[in-house]
Structure 1
Amino acid sequence: MKIITRYLFKEITVNVLLITLALIAMFSFFDLIQELESLGQGNYGLSKIILFVVLSAPGHVYEVIPVAVLVGCMYSLGQLARYSELIVLRVSGISVYSLAVTLLKIGMVFAILTFFVGELITPLSEKMAQRIRIKATDSVIVQDFKSGLWVKDGHSFVNVEEVLADTTLLNIHIYEFDDKFNLRTVSHAHKGLFEDEQWHLKSVSQTHLDKDSNYVQHLDKATWRSLIRPELLNVLLVLPEKMSAWNLYAYIEHLAINKQKTTRYKMALWRKLVYPLASLVMVILALPFAFIQQRSTGASTKIFIGIMLGILYQTLNQTFVHLGLLNDWAPAFSAITPTALFLFGGLAMLHHIDKR
């Protein structure tokens, strides 16, 4: 059985990696075409566009691995069936479920790879890519409103007009309220830098609103302690789906403390936890197709079916995310359901094949 495992591992891994490379090349080509529209903005030249596309590639790797595993397994097993190698394995006493266990070991390798890329590589590369683009095009991070970014920080509401790629804040407005939500202080700072666990503000103007008198205070420098951290501002650079699970958890905690809606980020966190398991589900789904019309179904048909199922899986994932956000479903339910449906479908087909 060890020889068979090594043989299957070699055949499937090579095909999965080739398909992954092909899909990454396709998505990178689309990224390149899209970024060429911004060519010439600021210092955004061809070399920086290519660097942006290269740094964006790990995010695509994370997205396409399950699809590549499905297509690669279907093609590899289809080739084994075509040359009657699967029949020889069955005649030798190896059951369908034994083959499934062997494939699960292979799928586990890609599940770990998916988790590693999604947790350690994609968040960093995506952040670097966005910072390079922002700096080169002389732009700022996209804001939630025309007036800039608004953040609730305890009893304060903070408005930042611009956030630079290095998380430097420009034109900061801080509105501080008391326990009864009476406005007590309005502060404006021209610039803010984060050092030594606090923000260092420059060119500060503070308006104090007391019961008896109001007065304005001007300071060249001031410090500001806040729950807002650069890593939280990095959320503006990286989509929630491409953040690490740890950063998502930290940001959810921040939103919860400030009694803000966390559904989107909880959804992204659950997807981060469930998505690597998709590689295991895909190998289970691919196995029954190896025994269906073994000789009449060509390799191109297998690849086409695999790609269609992969597209269906990604579509279901996105559909359940949007439906979950619209209908306020439990994030765990929205994240798990598409993968669970494919798993049940694969197990049902395996059971049918085994009973034939």
Structure 2
Amino acid sequence: MRTVRSLLYRDILGSVLFVVLAFLSLFYFIDFVDELDRLGRRGIGAGQAAWLSLLEQPGHFYELFPIAVLIGSIYSLARMAQSSEFTILRTGGLGPGRALSLLTTLALGFAALTFVVGDYVAPQFERQAEQQRARLTGGVARSGNSAWLKDKQQIDGVERSYSVNVQRAKAPGELDKVRIFEFDAQGSLMSRTEAASAKVEPNGVWRLSDVLQTRWQVSANSTPQVSELKLPTLDWPSGLTINVISAALLPAKTMSTAELYRYTQHLSAQEQSAQQHDIQFWRKAFYPFACLVMVALALPFAYLHGRAGGISLKVFGGIMLGISFVLLNNLAGHLGLLKGWTPWAVAATPSLIYLGISLAAFGWLVRYR
């Protein structure tokens, strides 16, 4: 059985690696052209565009790897079926259960690789790309707009709530154009603080620069008194950490599963809608297991007769299956957000549907073909 395992794993791994390299080469070219067009308008050379495109590749690897596993596995198993290698293996004692267990072990290895790249490698490279792009273009803003955050504090036993607007981030912990609105327990606006820039210290203190602070006070005759104060610097203690600010300003793909979880907890604690990030968290948590689904979808192709369509037709079918899985996964996320469905169910449903289809097809082929 060790020989059979080595034969299957070596053949499938080679095919998956070839498909991954082909996909990454295509996406690198597309990213390079996009970055060259974007940075060229600012007089930035092709070298920076090439480097930014390279930093995007781990993220593409994470997104494309399950589809590459599907296409590579289908190609390998279909080729073995067409050359009668898989038939010989079956004759030699490779039953359906043993074949399924062998490929499941390989799929778990693929899932572990997907998790490591998605949680540790890709977010680091994505952050570097965003920071490099910020230095070249003058800052990073979320989808071209500012980000809003909320914070609550107890001051002398009285609860204060804050709405914080950040225009953009130049680097980790360095913010541009910050506005802080302070409200009392009844929701009345007490003060507005505007700063040209801010630096978030590791202890949570925001060091504001070039500050204009406006305060509203209600006197005994209910006439509001307005006062303005200009300060060169001002320290504002806050519970908003660098990670929370980065999560608000940067795309969700730059966050690991643990960071997404912490950010959803922060949103829930501040009574903000966390549905979108909840769905992102569960999708990221379940995504590595898509490799199991992809290998299960590929296994029935090994039991098709060699004359039941050529390898190219089967590979094309695998590509269509992969595309349909991605479309259903994205569609489920949008529908779940619109309908308010349970986030973990939204994230798990596409994989469960395709896993059921693959196991049903596998069982039918083993029994009747």
- Distance between the aligned counterparts of 2:121 and 2:249, measured in 1? 15
- 2:209 equivalent in structure 1: 202
- Correspondence for 1:153 among 133, 151, 154: 151
- Correspondence for 2:175 among 153, 169, 172: 169
Pair 1:309-2:308 in alignment: no
TM-score (norm 1): 0.94
- Correspondence for 2:353 among 318, 338, 341: 341
Pair 1:298-2:310 in alignment: yes
- Distance between the aligned counterparts of 2:148 and 2:344, measured in 1? 28
Distance 1:220 1:238, change over 3 A: closer
Distance 1:255 1:266, change over 3 A: same
- Distance between the aligned counterparts of 1:170 and 1:180, measured in 2? 30
Q: Compute the displacement of 1:298 (Å).
A: 1.9
Pair 1:108-2:108 in alignment: yes
- Correspondence for 2:292 among 280, 294, 318: 280
- 1:84 equivalent in structure 2: 84
Q: Which stretch of the first structure deviates more once superposed, 294-303 or 259-268?
A: 294-303
- 1:182-331 correspondence to structure 2 within 5 Å: 182-197=188-203, 198-212=205-219, 214-236=226-248, 238-331=250-343
Q: Which stretch of the first structure deviates more once superposed, 38-47 or 300-309?
A: 38-47
The answer to whether the 8 A contact 2:148-2:248 is kept is no
Number of residue equivalences: 354
Distance 1:232 1:268, change over 3 A: same
Distance 1:269 1:296, change over 3 A: same
- 1:134-145 correspondence to structure 2 within 5 Å: 134-142=134-142, 145=145
Deviations 1:272-309 (Å, cap 9, x if unpaired)? 11110011111111111121132343221221111111
The answer to whether the 8 A contact 2:83-2:306 is kept is no
- 1:11 equivalent in structure 2: 11
Q: Compute the displacement of 1:351 (Å).
A: 1.0
TM-score (norm 2): 0.91
- Distance between the aligned counterparts of 1:244 and 1:237, measured in 2? 15
- Distance between the aligned counterparts of 1:74 and 1:51, measured in 2? 33
- Distance between the aligned counterparts of 2:63 and 2:147, measured in 1? 29
- Correspondence for 1:351 among 352, 357, 363: 363
- Distance between the aligned counterparts of 1:335 and 1:200, measured in 2? 40
Q: Compute the displacement of 1:43 (Å).
A: 5.2
Q: CA RMSD in A?
A: 1.8
- Distance between the aligned counterparts of 1:244 and 1:81, measured in 2? 40
Q: Compute the displacement of 1:144 (Å).
A: 6.7
Q: Compute the displacement of 1:219 (Å).
A: 2.7
Q: Compute the displacement of 1:24 (Å).
A: 1.0
Deviations 1:128-155 (Å, cap 9, x if unpaired)? 112212221234423675xx33222221
The answer to whether the 8 A contact 1:55-1:125 is kept is yes
Distance 1:187 1:137, change over 3 A: closer
The alignment-based identity, stated in percent, is: 35
- Distance between the aligned counterparts of 1:217 and 1:11, measured in 2? 71
Deviations 1:301-351 (Å, cap 9, x if unpaired)? 221111111111111111111111111111111111111011001110111
Deviations 1:172-222 (Å, cap 9, x if unpaired)? 221111111122222222221112411111222323333335433333222
- 1:38 equivalent in structure 2: 38
- Distance between the aligned counterparts of 1:328 and 1:242, measured in 2? 24
The answer to whether the 8 A contact 2:169-2:249 is kept is no
- 2:20 equivalent in structure 1: 20
- Distance between the aligned counterparts of 1:179 and 1:76, measured in 2? 65
The answer to whether the 8 A contact 1:168-1:193 is kept is yes
Other structure's SS at 1:210 match: strand
**Partner amino acid, structure 1, of 2:86:** L
- Distance between the aligned counterparts of 1:140 and 1:28, measured in 2? 22
- Distance between the aligned counterparts of 1:331 and 1:282, measured in 2? 22
Q: Any unmatched runs of 5+ in structure 2?
A: 153-160, 220-224
| Aligned structure 1 segments of 4 or more residues deviating by more than 4 angstroms | none
The answer to whether the 8 A contact 1:69-1:283 is kept is yes
The answer to whether the 8 A contact 1:111-1:276 is kept is yes
Distance 1:130 1:113, change over 3 A: same
Distance 1:121 1:99, change over 3 A: same
Other structure's SS at 2:112 match: helix
The answer to whether the 8 A contact 2:200-2:242 is kept is yes
- Distance between the aligned counterparts of 1:174 and 1:168, measured in 2? 16
- 1:74 equivalent in structure 2: 74
